[in-house]
Each structure stands twice: as C-alpha cells, then as structure tokens.
Structure 1
Amino acid sequence: MAHVTGDWNPLGEVFYRKVELYNMQHHWQQKADIPRCKIAAASFGGPIALMRDDRKTSNAPPARKPDIFIFSSSGKPISFFRWESGQLVDIGWSSTEDLLCVQQDGTVLTYDIFGKFHGRFSMGQVARDNEVIDARIFYNPTSGTSGVVVLTGNYKFYVVSNVKNPQSKKMADVPGLLSPPSCWTVISKDRDTFVMLTKDKILYVIDPGYCQEQGLENANGACIEMALSFDNQRIALFTDRGDIHVFTSDLQRKLCEFSTNSQIRPKQLVWCGNGAVVAYWENLLLVIGMKKNWIKYNLDQEAFLVAEMDGLRILQPDIQEFLQEVPDNVAGIFKVASMASGALLYEASREFQKKSQKADEYIRLIHDDLPNAVKQCLEAAGEEFEPNTQKSLLRAASFGRCFLTNSNPSQFVKMCQTLRVRNAAYDFTVGIPLTLVQLNRLSVEVLIDRLIRRREWELAMNISKYLKLSDSESRILTHWACYQVELKKKSDSEIAASIKSKLGDAPSISYSEIAKKASEISRNELAVKLLDYEPRASEQVPLLLTMSSTEAALRKSIESGDTDLVHTVLIRLMKKMKMQDFLMMLTNYPEAQSLYMQYCRQEQPQSLIDLHYQNDNFQEMAGCHIRNSYEQKTLAKQIDYLRSAQENYTRSRNEFAAKCTDEQRKLLDCQQQIEEKHEVEFVGLSVHDTAHKLIVSGLPKLAESIRKDFRIPDKRFWFLKIDALAVKGDWLEIEKFSKSKKSPIGYEPFVHVCLKYNQNFEAKKYVSRVAPEKKAKVHILLGLYNEAADLAFQQKNEDDLNQILRICSSNRELATKIQNMKAQLSRR
C-alpha cells in the first residue's frame, strides 16, 4: 500500500494527494509558454484554449493577430485558428464547451472546440461605446448555465446571465468608483447574479438592483485577490498584508483566517474542491485548510491552475496533475494501520491471492460488517485513476461478495461499467480525466455528447452500445453524417452512399436533419440525394421547399398520401410561382389538381375558374359560374353569372343544362318585374314557390302565366294551387276550382288540405267525389269509423279494417263488428 499513500499529505484530519494525470504531449510543450499566454481551461476535464498574450510581458500592442490553440486535457492538439476580429479582452469556456471570446467592443464571439464560428452577441451599446477593459466568464452550479460579466472603461458592470439566451443588464453603480477595482468576481446562485468587488479597503456587492457596502470581520488590509468556490458557497479573500480570509459567499459567516507571511499578490488564488484554498506563487503552491492547516508543494515549472468541483488541475508545460482531498473510502482502506472493514477486506483479498490462511482470519474479523466492507472497496475503486489499483479494489469487493448470501450484483456491475467508461474517456488519446464525482454530476449522456462534439464517434458509439443507450446511437450517427456532409474532398454521390451504408434504414435516424445540414452549406444536390433515404414525407417536403425543389416536394407529398401535406405544398407554391406557371404544372399532377380544386371551391372560387379555363373545361367553368351566381348580393351580377354559365354549357354541348340555366335567368327577370310592379319579394324563389306565393298574394293570373311560361305540370299546379288557397283561407275559391274541370289529382288532396287547416266541414264536401277505393281512408281521416268500416268491407280491404280496429280497440261494439267482417272475408 506504500505506493498508494506515497504522495499523500495530511491537512488536519484529512489527506490530500497530487496525482499525475498526463505527461503532456510534445505539441503542448512547444506552445505552453505559460507566463506569456492567456489560458482558459474548461471544467470537468474539458479542453484547454491557449493564446499568446504579449500584454502579460509588455504594454505594447500585439505585433500581429494571435493564434488560438485548442488542446485536450492530455495536451493532444484539437484545432487552432487565427484570431481575425477585434481586440480580445478575455477567453473562457461555457458549460457546453463552447469557447467564448470577449472583445473590447463588448461583442462576445462563440466557437466550438474545432475553431468553427457559431455566433455572437453583444453586451450592449453602452459597453460598445465605453469599451470593455475586463471580463469574467462564470458558471451557475444551480442551472448549469454560463454567463458573462464585463467591466467597461467608465467602470460600469454589465451582465449576460445565460449565453444561450443573451440579454444584457446593467449592474448597479458603485459610488466613487473612478478607477479599476482591486479585484472582483461573479457569484451566480439560482436566478441571481452578483458582482463582488473591492476598492481600497471597501468591499461591495452589486446586482442589477442595488449596491451594498459590506464590512468584513477582522479583515485588516485591502483585498487584492479573491476566489469563489466551485459551488459558489464560499469565497476566499487575499489582502495586501498577506492574509487569507474565508467567508461564506453571502459574507455572513467567517470560516477561516490564515497568514501566508507574503505580501506579494499570488499569481492565482483558487479553490481545491470546496474544502481548501490554494495560493500559487512562482514555483510554490500553498494549500490551506479551513482549520489553518497547510501543505506546501514546490513546482519545477510555471503552472496554471484549473478549479474542479472536487479538486484542482495543475497544468505545466510537461505534466498535468490533479490535486484533491483523498476520498474517505480510499483513505479508510489505504491509510497506515487502518482497521476499517474495507481495509481488512482488501488485506484478506491480497492474502487469498498469496494462498495464505490469513485471509480467513481477516474475513472472520469483519464477518458482521462484510456488506459495508464490500461497499467501501467498490466505491474506493471508483475514486482511483490507476487501473491496477482499481482492479485490486474490485477484486477485493468480489472476494467479499462470495461470503454474502443475499448479495445484489447490480452495484458491482454498475461500478465496473462506470470504470470502463471513465478509463476510456481518461485515455490520453481522448483526454477527459473525470473523477467519479464529476462523472456522476455530468452524467454519461452528457459525456457522450461531449465525445460526439469532439468527433470521437467510435468511442461514443461503443459506450452507448455497452450501456445500451439506444437513444444516443442515433445522435452519434447523425452527428457523424453531418460531419461527412462538410467534407469537400468527396463527391455528393460518394458521401450519400457512405452515409446510407453506415446508417441504413434505422427508424430513429433522421435523414432530413442530415440533408438540412447539406442545404445549409449550399450542397443542395447532396441534400436531395439524402432526402431520398428519408421515409417520412413530412420531414422531406419542408426541406425540399426551402431548397426550391418545388416539383420534387409536390411529388413526395402526393406519394405520401397525406392530403394536408399536399395542401401545404400547394399553398407554398401558389405564393412562390406565377399563377400561369403554377396552373400549368398542376396539369401533370391530377391528384394535386383535384385537391387544389377542392381548396379553391372553399377559399378562392376565381382561381378555380382560371384552372378550368387553362384546361378548356367549359362544363366545370359553367358549374363555377352557377355557384358564384348564388353568392352574389345583386340581381344584375347573378344574371351575368348565369349568362356566362349558359354560354359555357353551350360550348361544352350540354344543351339540357344550358336550357335550364336560361330558364333560371328568365325566372329571375320575371321575378324582378313582379317585385317592381307589386312590391312583393319574389327574387330567389323556385318556380313552384313563385306560383304558390302569387296565388297567396292574390295574383292568380300571374300564377297562370308562370305555369304556362315554365311549363308547370297540371298535377303539380293543382297541388300547389289548392295549398296556396288554403293558406290564404279562400275555401270558396277552392270549391270553385274543384268544379272548374275534372281534377287531375283526384279529390282526396282536397280533403287533406282542408283537414290540414282543421276545416272538417269543408273536407266533407269532397268525400262523395273521392274515388271509391280511397273513400274508406278519407272516412278514417274524418273520424267516421263505422262508415269507414262498411266501405272497407264493401271493398274487401282487410288492411283498412285492421287500421280501424287499431284506432277503435276501446270501442267493443265496433271492434266486434270489424272482427265479424274480417271473419266473413276470410271465409270467402
């Protein structure tokens, strides 16, 4: 165990260790002139951006635009690009590993780790006018978002709390601030963002709404450096007297005070996790605990410190180390003379491998606490970087599980999986050195996303398959395909075939998303080829429309059978194309033309006429004119449309329809004349209703004229006339009409119309004239059931007898009579 604890140093009751992460690669060593470079390293083992900054050694402006180099944590070069924009003030990484570059004019430019420009936003016009002299890129541990705060030349602060939704706000003014503050930092909690700054011996806390002057307990001297813990809960202040004061970030409680005996401002003041403050001077690293304990490390080279949630990365030209508090489980197993159950299980495992009987003795000692011993070894394995140490601890945990009757293997399996994933990401070719705590906070899904963005598709896919994360596989393949689309050395056909062979027909793959990427970089032919592989027309069609592949979009929408999609395409085409070209194109697509006609009937009738005119379809044009005529409010326009309809029916050789249309037009003319003369509304009525209303209105001669002009059949005219006279209540005229000549409809309708208006007396006048076979029914209607029964018996009509029997079932005498009649008829 000596090799495990050899680099441990006690800090009060805990230990700290400095672990070598990577022997940095040659390219990093060439560029890492740390005193002359501006360095930004992302947390969670993220990438490192390095830029030569001549202002760190000279006040003269840079001779030329600087190069920005981006490396992995292992020093592996990822990309570099020449800075061609304005004067840079600061660079830093967002929580999604985007490089944020803050310019002097207040513009913030965003790049990915390959130096590809993603976008920009501004800190506001005032920041532009007064120029930015300092900036901080901060992380909100609650929301997981990143923001930017800038200090302008007139000593005002402006904040963007979330770079994904940049909205600049001005912080409250600090009274009397006429020169740059001694030091300042940003505190972001929940939805609130504060700036803490010091000027001389006064400390201020500001947000967009207020400025508060804060007194510090026993903090003599002026604060010249400050550092905020990773979780934003603690803050360390370094004074010009060489003292370090540690407070809660709300400054309500003092946690520690320590004298460094050095009035020289440290090059960096950072936190190691949340339990210790680290001050760095040239070649010296001082770790200070909350109980005034300290550890001193000597460094051979210049270094740059990167705070992590559970430790500190130390970047040097030839090596990168990780300083952290030794986790409790690791300390419990490996510290000297430990009697923890995990330590004894670890020793038992080692003795068992030596085939020593001491293994049994150790197991007996911890028999009652064996589950905790297994758990301790398992969790300690997760805290280690060195694979051999991980294996020995897992071996001990596995050995202990052999003595447990109800051991659940899931925790052991999960830890083995986690370690394999961690070790794969930690490998120097990838360069993401995550601790178990960091991985749990980050999540495997986010790690896969970061691997995807680094174009480590194979590793991301292997992890996804290993952990059975099927949702991640489609994202990996899609990102790979989008990258292939950007390769200019390959032809469109080669790229499309390569993507198809790799992605296949998996339903989770969106070829439309890949095609959209091709369209964005103006490779429309490639986009069309990729869209041919997309099985969902709803995904194909919108992109085809944006690429102006109109006919392809229409064809795909028709093939899908989705009428809503076809309508969407048609409406888009109508807006983009000349109407003549649009209508001509529809002639090649009957299904689309049919849907367009349906749309026009409801929304654009005139367009429908244009379409029929284009196709010389006079029959349908006439139908459109007929429909339009009924929608007109003036009679003149109705007649004009009818005249046009008649002409088109004639041209289509539909003589019957043409004649009907002409008669309708004549009817409207006639109705208009009657209205003008008699001041009664007739326009719009049918021939039948017109004649009916004329009779009711006391204009029987005009009704006769209508009958002759429009050839109303006699039977129909008799029906409408007796009904109209009944409505009018002219029963005498009805009687005269019945005697004018033989009725073509018989006399039963006269009875019906009289009874309809409760005129029983008038109805009886026509009973004798009703045809013999219908007299029984008429008597039933009049309630003359005895007479009706006699007539039905004479006519031998059993149905009428049954009807009377149903009506008069309560009249025993009549019912008996009818039963006898039915019996006589049955004997015949």
Structure 2
Amino acid sequence: MAISNSAEWNELYNRFYCKLEVYTMCWPSVDISKHVIACAKFGGPIATVRDSGKLLLLAAESTRPKVNIYSASGLALASFPWDKGKIVRMGWTDSEVLMCILEGGDIYQYSIHGTEAAKPFSLWHQVSEQVVEDCCFWGHSVVIRSSTHQLYMIPDLRDPSTVQLASPGLEDPPHSMAIIEPQFTVSGNLEVLLAVGTSVVVVDEETAQDQKLELGPLTRMAVSPNGNFLACFTFDGKLRVLSTDFTKNLSEVDLHTDTPPAQLVWCGTDSVLLYWAEEGELVMVGPYGDTIRYSYDEPLVLVPECDGVRLLSNSLMEILQRVPDSVVSIFGVGSTDPAALLFEAMEHFEKRSAKADENIRAIGPADLPAAVDACIDAAGHEFDVPQQKALLRAAAYGRAFCAKFPRDRFQEVCKVLRVLNAVRHYETGVPLTLQQFRLLTAPVLIARLVNANRHLLALEVSDWLGLSKEAVLRHWACAKIETSGDVAEEAILETIVSKLRTSATMSYAQIADTAHKMGRTQLAAMLLDYEPKAAEQVPLLIRMGEDERALAKAVDSGDTDLVYLAIFHLQKHVPEKELFRMIQAKPLARDLFVSWTRQNDPDALKKYFFTTGNPAAAAEVLVKESYQAALERSGRGSALTTPRIKILEQAIELYSQNKEYAFHAKMADEAAKLLKAQQELEISTRQDVFVDSSVSDSIRTCIAMGNHKAAQKLRVDFKVPDKRFYWLKIKALAHARDWDALDKFARERKPPVSYAAFAEACIEQGVNSEAIKYIGKITDLQARAEAFARIGMVNEAAEAATQAKDGELLNRLRSTFTSNTSAAAIIDTFRDKLSLPG
C-alpha cells in the first residue's frame, strides 16, 4: 500500500496520517500477547520469549521456553532454549545486540544469530535480596528499577559497570517510569522520571527532585523523540502533554476512560498513540485534542520510530506515520500546488496530450525547481515502487525545463531508493523509511546487513552508494572460515584471496585472527603473508606463538616500536639463550636490545655478551656498572666500594682475554687500585671524602688534612710526576693556610717548579705578605714583574720590567694602572729610562 493513496489518509487537525501494511508476517502462529516482545528500532529484528506470567494452553507449545529471533518480516533468524531464569524485560542496543534482563539482576547478551555476544554481567556486585522490577533501554545503555525502589544505570553495555543513581526515597513502587536520554538534558546526564503520588520525581546521579505537580497519579508516561515533551495518562482518563522541564502544560484531552492503556508512545513529535489491549482499540491524539481511532482483532505491540510507529500484530507489520508535506502537496485532494501540476503534466505528456505544456506553463519558471524537488522528495518517502518511478519521471520531466537544478539531488535519491527497496524486501526484512535511513546513515545500515550475514546485499549497497567494500569483504571472509567445516585450508585460502584480491589495501590480519581462534593455525599463517602492514602482522604472530617469525617481520618493517614489542614478548616467554640466539642474527634487534638493556637491565646485557662470546663488551658493562654504583653511594660511606672493586676485577679479567684490550685492562686495574687506596684512606681518616675523587684530588685532600705520608704513598703508587706533585702540594698548603709548612716545603730543595707557583698560590688565597717572599725569588724578570703588578707593587713591577728591558711589558703595566695616576707616573719614569715613546 502506497503513502500516496490519499483515500486511506486520516486527517488529524491540519495533518494527515496513513497506515501502511509493510509485511504479512512470515513466522508461524505466534500469539504476541503471550510473549515478552522486544523490537529493535530502525526496522530491526524482533525477539520473543514466552511470558512465564501468562497461562499456557496444554499442548499449545513446548513448556520449555525458547528465545526466538525474527526479522521485521517474521523470518526466523535464530532460536535457542532459555533456562537462565525469569526474564523481566528484553531490549536491543543500537548495534542490534539483544539484552535479556533477569529478575535476579543478571544480564545476558546475544547476537541476532542467537550466540552469546559477551559474558553475562550481574547488576549486583554481591548477593542481594532485591530483584529487578522494571527497566528502560536506550542506545547501548539501560536503567533498572529494583524492588527496593532504587535506580541503577549501566552507561555502556559493551563495557558494563553499574552506577547507582540518587535514591528517590520511595516507600511504594512508582505508578510509571520514563527516561530522558542524556543528549536531551541540560546537564548531559540521564534523567529518570518516576510518577509518584500526584507528582513526578526527576532522578539523576546526584539528586532526586520532586516537581510538586498536582496532576496524578500518572499511570503511563512517554517522552517524545526529541526529548522536549512528556505525554502522561492520568488516573482520571486524561492525556496530558507537558514540557519535560515541567514549566508548561501544553494540552489536555479527556479520553473518557480510567483504564490505563497497555502502551503509550509518541508517533513522531506531533501525536501520541494509546493502545488498550482488552478493547483492541488504538487511539491517536493530536496536538489540539483531535483523535483517530483504529480497531484491532489481534494484539498489538507499538514500536516507536523517529518518524512514526511500527505496529506489530500476530499477522501483520504496519507503519503508522504522518504523511510527508511533499506527498500531501502532490496527492492531496484538489491540490493545485506546483508539484501536483508537474505530476499531472507528466501524466499528460505520457499520454501525448497538449495539456502537458499547459500545466508546465501554469507552474511558471520561478516555482518549477521547487516542484521538481517536491516530486523527488515524495518519491523518497514512497514505499510503492511504481509510484516511486512515476514521481521520479515527473521530476525528470520538470528538470528538463530547469536550467540550474542540481543534478546530484536526483541521482542521490535514486541511489537511496534502490537501497531502501532492496532492504525492505521481506527476505531482508528491514522496513526503513527515508528519514530513518538518513538518521541511521548508510555505513551503519551496511554494518547491520553484514552482521546479519547479508554480505552480497551489503556489497551491492556499498557499490551503489560509493562506499568502501573492505569491511564487508573482511566480515565475509571471517564468516567463511567459521562455517568452513572440514574444507581444506588451501581451498579456503584460495577462495578468500580470489575475492579479496581486488582490494589493494585490504587488511588480512583480522581474517587471520579469526582463523587462529578457530584452530586453523596454518591458514592463519598463510593469510598473514598477504597482510601488507607489519603493525597488524606482528601482534597476531605473537598471539599465535610464532615468536621468531614475529621478530623477523618486525625487523623487516624497520619499525623500532614493533621490534621492541617482539623483544619484550620474547624476554617474557622464551629462555634467555633462545632469545639471545634470535636477536644475535638480526642487527637491528640486537642493537635495540643492547641499547635498552644498557639503560634498564645491565644484568641481562652482561648475560647476552657472555652468551654470545663478547667478553670485552661484557667488561665494558661491568665498568659502567661500577661507576653507576658511585651514583648510589651518597650517604652510604664506603659500603659499596668493596663490591665495586670486585666488579672492576671481573672487568680486568675479561679485558685480559684479548690483547687488543690491554689498555682497557690497565685502566680498569688502575681504577680498582685507586678505589682500594681511597677506601683505606676513608677508613683510616674516618672521613667520607676520598672515594670517587681523582688521584690529584686525593693527594690534595691528604695534604690539606696534614697526612703527608699518605700523600707521598699515593705519589709513589700512582707514579705522579714531581712537577704535578709540587703543584698539588703548594695549592693544598696554601688552601690550608699553613704558611710555615709552605715555606719549609719551598726550602727543602730546589723545587721542580718556579717560585711563581708559590707566589700564585698565596695570591689566590689573598695573602700578599706571603706572596712577597716568593716573588723576589722568581728568576724570570717578566714573571716577577707581573706577580708584583698583581699585588699592586707598582714600583717593584716597573723596576723588574726595566731590568728585563721589556718595553712592551711596561706598556701593558701602564694600561693596567691607567686609573691610578701615581702608579702611571712611576711607570712613565721607568719608561723614560728606557727612552720609550709615550
């Protein structure tokens, strides 16, 4: 039955509604009044299970309950026995997963094929005496009301966790319950509406607020699809429509019955449907109190959609919806709209009548584009294929007279209609309207077809709409493997590859993973050879236990992250010798392993070098380990010194195995020898100042402490040159301000360094009086002059420079003392003696 059959339209105030018979149900005799029914939105599948609370005629059907899943046309999709407990409510998620909520709080999830989609989930975290009394589904979520009048929400059934909402503080059960989905609330949180007494309590996660209404009891409630309105049936037989913020009472209609309807739903956003099962009466109420009444001999289930309601009975699937404005403009009785004139013009044109030209001229060029667009839109809303074609022919006829009408508009609707007509066929059983299709989107529809194993149709839809076919082909390949039975793996591979070869970017990893899960390891390995992305290959090879192959693929890719992934897996799951053998043959893996272990696991690095026969590299690790221990020494005195010495001794032994590393062995020996000496010094002096200092610093520290014997021993043991030792001792004594010892040291014998070193040490300590003792002994006149100048003795500095006959030095002295006029005068006097120019 087509929308455009205006004889069957019903007017509600200034709007028209029509009821379309979409399917005669293909299922066997099913009495939906005796079953718990769940219908998925967007023309989705139907689930049924016998209602344990209803009487069953003897031998009418098996006493063992079964869950049956049908398409919207009634074709059987799946069936499985039910022995898990009493089902309170069933519902479908947006991804067409069936949720079964049990009285005890357990939740089971099933695909449309009757297989478990996830592990069962318990609403209560522990054993509880409360039971489930009611629930509401939306999206991938559900809110549940328990027998203790508490509310629990599962925000995402794909990753279930329970959230308890604020306590409504009820002593008795509410009269009815409804929800406002999060996308329609100001706070962005779910709001649960509970009809309590004469009012409504709004509950979210934080609060429970009584709206203080005087309307109830409200025995039924329903929120509009856009979340703006709340339809309520009151105890005294009135239908009220309120704003969901409860600030406005928009309408009130007396239906003259105090029996609450079995169902109350919205039909779009313009009208409300109420169904009384016992009377078999369906009443539609409009915004101004107008009503349309339908009578039914069979029980009904009302399934609200975004643009209407699906009516499911034992024998029929119907759609009740508002007639679109474009359809009304064309087929309304006595319509003179430009679109109606265009449609009539097309009919005259096909009859070769001259009236076609009259109608086109009557429309006028200004209104013609809108008339063409209305015909295209009306065709999109039609269910009747011949009527679709007639409207499209009218649009094509009118478009010939429109110079600038967009061509894409016509092509788009033709493509969409081809898709809609295909999925509406009873064998597919998805009765989508144009508005539902646009809201659902084409990728989601394709995903649903794929989920129902309608791969050929999904491929054709993808082709018609210009969408990628990869996801469809991949799902088909996985399904092929799952249902292959005893077919040889080579034959399955050939079948899959021949179909998938047309896609250059096809990923085979997911298909290989399915083969692996089905126990077909060889098939999985062969499929992975076709996978172009190493990032997809390596993780799956690891899960399959193909460790060496996973490492090889990772190395070949050049992706260091993948190589590390393979190495870390190998470290945990294979013996060390096997790991070392694998990475030794692969330079990139070896270098990355060495780099990581050098920073994070030196023990593993040592074992690797020992195992692979590289003692020098192992020795290097030991030396670094010894010095790393130095960083940990703070506050622990010399406690770590002995272990460090032993580590260095091990390094010396390893270095000694190869003559090429004789220098390294000697240096390690020197380091160990120094550590021993420093350890002895710290023990003898009880000063934690020697370990990890240099030989020079150790000597300097000994001298500063007055331990000249120890300093001399370090000098001999480490063969410190006389000149360096003198410098160290001079600075140490000056730093200790032991001037007598410094003077004695200078007189012992002729020092191997100039007396300038003594003078400089005194000057650095700011004691010029001591420096004078040694400046006079400096034989180099230039050095003596500069030393005098440093302590401000201008006359002596100039005299030394004059004796050296160094005019350039005098000039430098002159520039140094420019600000000191008396000093400058003295220098000028000496300059005159040398007859130097000013």
Asked whether the two chains share a fold, i.e. TM above 0.5, the reply is: yes
Displacement of 1:17: 1.9
Task: Give the Cα–Cα distance (whole angstroms) in 2 for the partners of residues 157 and 44 of structure 1.
Answer: 28
Identify the residue that residue 688 of structure 1 maps to in structure 2. 696
Taking a change above 3 Å as real, the CA distance of residues 682 and 127 of structure 1, as seen in their structure-2 partners, is closer
Q: How far has the Cα of 1:146 moved from its partner?
A: 4.1
Q: Is residue 347 of structure 2 the alignment partner of residue 350 of structure 1?
A: yes
Does structure 2 conserve the Cα–Cα contact (< 8 Å) formed by 1:174 and 1:211?
no
Does 2:78 match 1:70?
no
**2:476: which partner in 1?**
480
Deviation at 1:104, TM superposition (A): 2.9
| Offset from partner CA, 1:4-46 (integer Å, 9 cap, x none) | 323223334332222232344xxx2424344444432222111
Aligned pairs (5 A) from 1:753-792: 765=776, 768=779
For 1:223-262, what per-residue CA distance to the aligned partner results, in whole angstroms no more than 9, with x for missing partners? 87666655562425386x8x5624337576262435478x
Q: Is the 8 A contact 2:233 2:260 kept in 1?
A: no
Q: Distance in 2 between matches of 1:391 and 1:806?
A: 111
Matched, 1:17 2:51: no
The answer as to 2:337 corresponding to 1:340 is yes
Whole-Å Cα distance in 2 between the matches of residues 234 and 807 of structure 1?
98
TM-score normalized by structure 2?
0.78
> In the alignment, what sits opposite 1:8?
9
CA offsets, 1:115-147, max 9 Å, x none? 121233334379963444x544433xxxx4542
| Residues 1:372 and 2:370 aligned together | yes
Matching residue of 1:387? 385
How far apart are the structure 2 equivalents of 1:80 and 1:739?
112
Shift in CA distance, 173/685, structure 1 to aligned 2, threshold 3 Å: closer
**Does the 8 A contact of 1:287 with 1:295 survive in 2?**
yes
Deviations 1:498-519 (A, max 9, x none): 5455445968655444444455
Instruction: Give the structure 1 partner of residue 110 of structure 2.
Output: 111
Q: Give the SS at the match of 1:356.
A: coil
The residue number in structure 2 matching 1:424 is: 422
* CA deviation after TM superposition for structure 1 residue 412, in Å: 3.4
Letter in 2 for 1:359: A
Shift of 1:338: 0.8
Q: Does the residue aligned with 2:317 lie in a helix, a strand or coil?
A: strand
- Aligned pairs (5 A) from 1:620-635: 620-630=617-627, 631=629, 633-634=638-639, 635=641
Provide the rounded CA distance (Å) in 2 between the counterparts of 1:85 and 1:59: 23
Give a deviation string over 1:279-319, Cα, whole Å, max 9, x none: 35579554433245444545576554433232232334554
Is the contact between residue 174 and residue 204 of structure 1 (CA under 8 Å) also seen in structure 2? no
State the SS of the aligned residue for 2:443: helix
* 2:821 corresponds to: none
424-433 or 727-736, larger mean C-alpha shift:
727-736
**Conserved 8 A contact 2:23-2:317:** yes
Which amino acid is 2:122 matched to? S
**Distance in 2, Cα, partners of 1:445 & 1:334:** 33
| Aligned residue type for 1:245 | L
Change (3 A) 1:407 1:488: closer
CA deviation profile, 1:455-482 (whole Å, cap 9, x unmatched): 3334334433443445xx4433443344
Task: Report the 3-state secondary structure (helix = DSSP H, G, I; strand = E; otherwise coil) of the residue aligned with 1:412.
Answer: helix
User: Which residue does the alignment assign to 1:434?
Assistant: 432
Of residues 156, 159, 178, the one that matches 1:186 is 178
Question: What per-residue deviation string (whole Å, max 9, x for no partner) do you get for residues 172-214 of structure 1?
Answer: 364455xxx8x73423343344355589xx7765747658698
Residue range with higher mean Cα deviation, 604-613 or 336-345 = 604-613
Shift of 1:656: 4.7
Q: CA deviation at 1:90?
A: 3.1
CA 1:599–1:288: 2 relative to 1, 3 Å: closer
Aligned residue for 2:5, secondary structure, equals helix
When residues 813 and 410 of structure 1 are mapped into structure 2, their CA distance, relative to the original with a 3 A threshold, is farther
Deviation at 1:53, TM superposition (A): 4.4
Q: 1:374 to 1:805 in 2, by over 3 A?
A: farther
Report the TM-score, using the length of structure 1 for normalisation: 0.79
CA distance in 2, matches of 1:342, 1:375: 8
For residues 2 and 500 of structure 1, the distance between their equivalents in structure 2, rounded to whole angstroms, comes to: 46
Alpha-carbon spacing, 1:369–1:652, altered in 2? closer, same or farther (3 Å): same
Structure 2 CA distance, aligned partners of 1:775 and 1:214? 105
Aligned to 1:121: 121
Residue 494 and residue 729 in structure 1: after superposition, are their counterparts in 2 closer, same or farther (change >3 A)?
Answer: farther
- Structure 2 Cα separation of the partners of residues 702 and 264 of structure 1: 110
The alpha-carbon deviation at position 454 of structure 1 amounts to: 2.0
Native 8 Å contact 1:38 1:52 kept in 2: yes
User: Is this contact kept in 2: 1:776–1:789, CA < 8 A?
Assistant: no
What does residue 138 of structure 1 align with? 137
Summarize deviations over 1:371-424 as a string: whole Å, max 9, x none. Answer: 332332232222211222223223333333344444333433433333333233
Contact 1:776 1:792 in 2 (8 A): no
Partner of 1:248: 242
SS at 2:623 equivalent: helix
Who is 2:646 aligned against?
Answer: 640
Output the CA distance in 2 between the equivalents of 1:309 and 1:677. 91
Conserved 8 A contact 2:16-2:323: yes
Identify the range of structure 1 (525-534 vs 349-358) with the bigger mean alpha-carbon deviation: 525-534
User: Is 1:320 aligned to 2:317, yes or no?
Assistant: yes
Deviation at 1:753, TM superposition (A): 6.9
Q: Distance in 2 between matches of 1:266 and 1:346?
A: 43
Percentage of identical aligned residues? 33
1:45 aligned counterpart, secondary structure: coil
- Residue 525 of structure 1 and its aligned partner are, at CA, apart by 4.8
Which amino acid in the other structure matches residue 319 of structure 2?
Answer: F
SS at 2:367 equivalent: helix
Give the C-alpha shift of residue 439 in structure 1. 2.0
- Selected match of 1:307 from 301, 304, 323: 304
Partner residue, 1:824: none
CA contact (8 A) 1:184 1:226 kept: yes
Distance 1:788 1:523 in 2: 98
8 A contact 2:775–2:787 mirrored in 1? no
Cα contact 1:147–1:159 (8 A) shared by 2: yes
Aligned to 1:826: none
C-alpha spacing 1:656/1:294, structure 2 compared with 1 (3 Å):
closer
Change (3 A) 1:360 1:725: same
Query: Paired residue for 1:32?
Result: 30
Tell me, which stretches of 5 or more residues in structure 2 are unaligned?
A: 183-188, 819-823
Select between 669-678 and 733-742 the one with higher mean Cα deviation.
733-742
Q: Structure 2 vs 1, CA of residues 547 and 792 (structure 1 numbering), >3 Å: closer, same or farther? A: farther
CA distance in 1, matches of 2:128, 2:501: 51
Amino acid at match of 2:341: L
CA contact (8 A) 2:37 2:48 kept: yes
Secondary structure of the structure 2 residue equivalent to 1:97:
coil
1:96 is matched with 95
Deviates more, 1:623-632 or 1:39-48: 623-632
The residue that corresponds to 1:85 in the other structure is: 84
SS in 2 for 1:388: helix
1: CA distance between counterparts of 2:543 and 2:179?
A: 45
CA distance in 1, matches of 2:72, 2:719: 100
**Mapped contact 1:136–1:148 kept (Cα < 8 A):** yes
1:709 to 714, 717, 724: 717
Q: Which amino acid aligns with 1:167?
A: T
Alignment of 1:403-422 (within 5 A): 403-422=401-420
Give the Cα separation in 1 of the matches to 2:756 and 2:713: 27
**In structure 2, what is the equivalent of residue 797 of structure 1?**
none
For residues 790-815 of structure 1, the C-alpha deviation after alignment (integer angstroms, 9 at most, x for no partner) is 98999xxxxx99x989989999999x
